[in-house]
Amino acid sequence: MAGFIIRLVGYALLLELSSRFAQQLWVQHGLDDIASLQALHDDGIIVLWAAPFVLALFGSGALRTTAIFLGFALAAAALTAPVALAHFAPAG
């Protein structure tokens, strides 16, 4: 049980910090003004909020390295998505 709580807190910190930074980038690049991207943003934030529990639940034993990889992959995707969408999204 203690291992689960430690994993949960670790994943929650990693993904919450990346979520906060991604939200700042989202606003900084003006993506909050584009209505067609709002659903994508909302879904991404929900995934980042739910992922720590799922990763902590299945992130022990043989799946530990996979869960760590997925946690960092989600954090990287959250951080790079606003920058990439700012380049490819339609203006206004």
Q: Is 92 a residue whose pLDDT tops 60?
A: no
- Residue 52: its pLDDT value, please? 92
Domain boundaries, the chain: 2-88
SS3 60: coil
Running DSSP on this structure, what letter comes out for residue 20?
A: H
User: What gap in Å lies between CA 64 and CA 56, rounded to an integer?
Assistant: 9
* Whole-structure pTM value: 0.84
Q: Rg (Cα) of the chain, in Å, rounded?
A: 15
pLDDT digits (tens, 9 = 90+) for 27-86: 998 888 888 888 888 898 899 899 999 999 888 888 999 999 999 999 999 999 888 888
The whole-number pLDDT of residue 74 equals: 93
Place of tokens 């900084």: 28
